[in-house]
Amino acid sequence: MTTLKLGILSELLGGDAGRDPYTEPFRRVEGFLFDRGVALVRRDPDVILADVRQIEEFDLGCPVILFDKSDGGMLWWHFAPHGGAARSWLKARRVVGVIKISRYKRLEHYNGASAEDAYHIGQIYGAANGALPAAVKEPIIVLGEKDLSKIEIGYGFWAFACCDPLPDYRIDDGADKDLDVFCAMTMVNASVGVTHHRGRAMETLERLTHLRTALVRGRILSQADYMNLMRRARICVSPWGWGETTLRDYEAMYAGCVLIKPRTDFSESWPVIDERHYVPCAVDFADLPEKIDHVLSHWDDYLEMRQRNRERLLALRRPEALADRLAGIIRRRVEPLE
């Protein structure tokens, strides 16, 4: 097997990918990648993983795989739409693929009218009943099937090093869980739609005074306190953020919570997350109290879901599994060019 030399663009420019939470998993499994025929190099690469925006000014003499750090399936350029820049790069001949946290299932989700060029934010606007200004429009650059075929699903937030404290938690019948519901999140977002969405979620939860809740507006908890509350909770409510998938989704699964979040069946990720793994609610949270009451009154029925969620993430978090996924993507994107 020929060894492919993979250069991470930030490192070709003198940086350290191991210090970035999004690319740190590559460095963590470096030896396992080498065993699978992919060597991480800092000079003379065969293929470049473009994780920073300097792709716009760097003379790239070899194929490029974009590493999109967006939190969901949308095609943004460094956490913002930027007028379709990511779509333009996706169509470039030298770009042989893009690795993302998640991907929309259908081409129409990329090409239909949405807000901020993000399907889930368009869903928020559609459910706002006039509470948000009209901001839904068609994308500037339309994608084709060939473009969609370039999008590969990499690892999710579950692989990030910040999740390290949670996998050692042991799931049982929940006797140690003295909280019914936990939700802690940043409330003000650069997206007006996301800010509205999260406000609706918290307002709904704060009305549930008959439940044992830990509701925190803003990022004010220490990491240790945050993790402790997550472990103590039976349910974690996880609104959308910049993307339709969030770090909180996976933290909840590691901690043995039942995850409740808006229905996200338009998106696919690795591993698959569908209604076998979380309880879907309405985008405007109108049915959230009903969903919470059902979980609490049928708590024992969710033990298998909680155990399965955690076991799946632990299995994929193994260095061998993560390296298999990443090496497979790299080789699949580059070998047809050889």
* In a shared domain, residues 136 and 78: yes
Determine the pLDDT at residue 173: 65
Determine the pLDDT at residue 135: 76
* In a shared domain, residues 298 and 263: yes
0.85 exceeded by the pTM? yes
Determine the pLDDT at residue 166: 76
* In a shared domain, residues 249 and 113: no
* In a shared domain, residues 293 and 237: yes
* In a shared domain, residues 65 and 169: no
Residue 289's H or E segment, with its range, is helix 288-297
* In a shared domain, residues 145 and 277: no
* In a shared domain, residues 250 and 269: yes
Sign for the CA dihedral angle at 257, 162, 283, 150 comes to negative
Domain assignment of residue 125, given as a range: 4-158+317-337
In the block, which residue shows the tokens 């396992």?
Answer: 32
**How many domains are there within the chain?**
2
Which residues sit opposite 280 in a β-bridge? 261
As a residue count, the chain comes to 338
Query: Tens digits of per-residue pLDDT, 112-124?
Result: 999 999 999 999 9
Cα 317 to chain centroid distance, Å, stands at 15
Contacts (Cβ under 8 Å, ≥6 apart) of 279: 258, 259, 260, 261, 291, 294, 295
pLDDT band with cut points at 50, 70 and 90 for residue 175: confident
* In a shared domain, residues 272 and 299: yes
Pair 73, 123: CB distance under 8 Å: no
Distances (CA, A) of 63 to 40, 45, 47, 55: 15, 9, 5, 12
Give the range with max mean pLDDT: 228-232, 235-239, 331-335.
Answer: 235-239
Q: How far apart are CA 230 and CA 141, in angstroms?
A: 41
